[in-house]
Chain A
Amino acid sequence: MPLLDTQADDAFVQFERVQKSYDGETLVVKDLNLTLPKGEFLTMLGPSGSGKTTCLMMLAGFESATHGEIRLKGQPINNIPPHKRGIGMVFQNYALFPHMSVAENLSFPLEVRKMGKSEREEKIRRALDMVQMGDFGGRRPAQLSGGQQQRIALARALVFEPELVLMDEPLGALDKQLRETLQFEITRLAHDLGITVVYVTHDQTEALTMSDRVAVFDDGRIQQLAPPDELYEAPQNSFVAQFIGENNTLDGTVSQLSGDKCIVQLDSGEEIDALPVNVSNVGDRTLVSIRPERVEIDPDLGPDSHTLDAEVLEFIYMGDVFRTRLRVAGRDDFIVKTRNRADQVRLSPGQKVKLGWLPQDCRALDP
């Protein structure tokens, strides 16, 4: 699966310099450029108001782009009405037709396409089996639970075999367990059917577990577009670092910079090693970010590495991991996560330790 830069000629969906404004003054989407190859599962992740849903609505045709072009299989679709785009969609509130039975809901897109009765029945049966709802064809949506309704909505979006399916926070209203089951089912279906999926969510776990690539939205722009592991391990800016997963941040100034290594002087005076990500000059203000599970306690990292003095404030037993809160460089919200191994030391409050990390795990980002 192509994950990096895609050539324009194998682009399946393409946003080119797309802008959107509802009131003619403020831009909800600012200069969006995005290319999806066929078969990719792309998630748009971001806080509410970041423009992710607007992008999805523009792709579906319910909102029009103020500027720029959206292409599907190379064809501009800005001037094609939603009902002629042939894109499947799963809505947040399911949007099942309440006056029709489940089978009639699924039959609707097929009747629109003037399909014969036997062919329709065959496709409906297959689509219902696909979401394990084979026995529910005669029910009405109001007689189904939330999870069942969402399965039907999924079946309805897939029954007319679209190549592109959009999902707008489809699991938002479900409880955690059901959400996890459906996450797995949706990814499995998407891969089995080879469809391209654009999935919108504000749940980062969902984004990380389901997607081939994740586009993190904030303030109308894509902050980073990367596969889940890259997004988590190599965030390109401090928004992404803080939005995805748990993260320790420290403020400081770059004091030495040489190639792929820099030394940051923290505001409290200590110096630490870091990987320069978006700092370019000595003297730049920076926010360094370290994942809690990449911090080592009393490390043995070699003679020229820096460590920080820390005092344990709180030790939390979480089963699979230990979560330790420490006072570091004048801040008392520094978190260290350690795996629950037989030989793992359990720290107790008041204990003094040294913290260190590999320079590449500590990223010097924009302040």
Chain B
Amino acid sequence: MELPPYATLGQKIWHYTFYVICGLIFFFLIAPILTIIPLSFNAENFFTFTPGMLAFEAEAYSLKHYEDFFTNPSWQQALRNSVQIAPVATLISVALGTLAAVGLSQPHVPARRAIMAILISPMIVPLIISAAGMYFFYSRIGLQGTYLGVVLAHAALGIPFVIITVTATLVGFDNSLTRASANLGAGPVRTFFKVQMPLILPGVVSGGLFAFITSFDEVVVVLFVGSAGQKTLPWQMFIGLREQISPTILAVATILVVISIALLTTVELLRRRSERLRGLSPS
């Protein structure tokens, strides 16, 4: 942003103040996350920077917390649980959320706004309330403390993300394409998978990633709905923080941050690719 030559002194001051404010906001958002990355390489069992680390001495750094994460059976069990729960929950979220978004995007559906609001509510209702509600409901029907229970609970949390991203993609979807497909002889199922799905795929994928990250990061609902058998990574981190105060959680946090960044980059690349295919931007 360039200042125009006619800017007054007040505008100039505001111009630079604005940059400072933006910088502070970024710092406030990112600094806590960035801090844990060097701390996870701490050679001591502390959560603080040791004098040796600040002096950049090689022996003050180590990979021992990472080693702990990959060798400690309770961390490994938590990782296995997370990896077993998140993908399945994501799959359910994506399937149901995409269907809901496609259905609710058709203008003839009655009460579509109300249905949409109900489906999105898990994102708006405070998590602790959803979790408590799920606990009582799942206890009644025997799902509390089961793998299926946690998967379903996480799927319910992930569905709103999928609905929102897919609905956004469908806004730009040209309905004459489904008509053309039908006209060329394709039934509704073929039309959905061959014509509609490839074009809304970026929305489906980003919704799916949000759903995955939600399940992978979620601690409140799993504490209520799950039992020791479904102890996920965030749950183990929560215990680690409360009971053991082990810097291993910093190593885990770093790994999770890296995974999240990798996933979001993938989404962005996919989105650009699809826009290029649809001719929305020059290749």
Contact = CB atoms under 8 A, between A and B. Distances in A.
Interface of A: 60-62, 81-89, 91-93, 95-99, 108-109, 112-113, 140-143, 156, 160
Contact of B278 (A83, A95, A109, A142): A142
B200 to A, nearest CB: 11
A83 B188 CA distance: 8
B57 interface: no
Contacts of A142: 277-279
Nearest to B195: A97
Given A83-B187, A89-B183, A140 B177 contact: no
B182 A82 contact: yes
A35 B278 CA distance: 40
Given A95-B176, A108-B186, A109-B185, 17 more contacts: A62-B182, A81-B182, A83-B184, A83-B186, A85-B183, A91-B179, A92-B176, A96-B180, A97-B177, A97-B180, A97-B181, A97-B195, A98-B278, A108-B181, A109-B184, A112-B185, A142-B277
B198 A99 contact: yes
Contacts of B183: 60, 82-83, 85, 87-89
Interface string B255-283: 00000000000000000001001110000
B279 A140 contact: yes
Nearest to A61: B182
B184 A99 contact: no
25 contacts: A61-B182, A62-B182, A81-B182, A82-B179, A83-B181, A83-B185, A83-B186, A83-B188, A91-B179, A95-B179, A96-B180, A97-B177, A97-B180, A97-B195, A98-B199, A98-B278, A98-B279, A99-B198, A99-B199, A99-B274, A108-B184, A109-B184, A109-B185, A142-B277, A142-B278
A95 to B, nearest CB: 4
B279 A112 contact: no
B277 A83 contact: no
A89 B183 CA distance: 7
A122 B190 CA distance: 24
A83 B182 contact: yes
A83 B187 CA distance: 6
A312 B141 CA distance: 93
B177 A113 contact: no
B194 interface: yes
A91 to B, nearest CB: 5
A91 B278 contact: no
Contacts of B190: 112
A82 B178 CA distance: 11
B202 to A, nearest CB: 11
**Closest 4 pairs between A and B when the two form their complex, measured CB to CB:** A142-B279, A109-B184, A95-B180, A112-B185
Interface residues of B, number: 23
A109 B279 CA distance: 23
A89 B279 contact: no
A148 B254 CA distance: 52
Contacts, number: 74
B174 interface: yes
Nearest to A57: B179
A112 B184 contact: yes
Contacts of A88: 183
Interface in B42-62: none
B175 to A, nearest CB: 9
Max count, chain B CB within 10 A of own CB: residue among A62, A85, A95, A156:
A95
Nearest to A91: B176
A86 B185 contact: yes
Contacts of A99: 198-199, 274, 277-278
A234 B230 CA distance: 84
A259 to B, nearest CB: 51
A97 B277 CA distance: 10
Interface in B121-179: 174, 176-177, 179
Contacts of B176: 91-93, 95
A169 to B, nearest CB: 12
A15 B25 CA distance: 67
Nearest to A96: B180
A86 B183 CA distance: 7
Given A97-B195, A142-B278, A112 B174 contact: no
A228 B145 CA distance: 78
Contacts of B279: 98, 140-143
A15 to B, nearest CB: 19
A84 B184 CA distance: 9
Nearest to B279: A142
Contacts of A93: 174, 176
Contacts of B185: 83-84, 86, 109, 112-113, 160
B177 A95 contact: yes
Given A62-B179, A95-B174, A108-B194, A156 B278 contact: no
Interface string B194-212: 1100110000000000000
Contacts of B277: 98-99, 140, 142
Contacts of A96: 180
A85 B187 CA distance: 11
Contacts of B199: 98-99
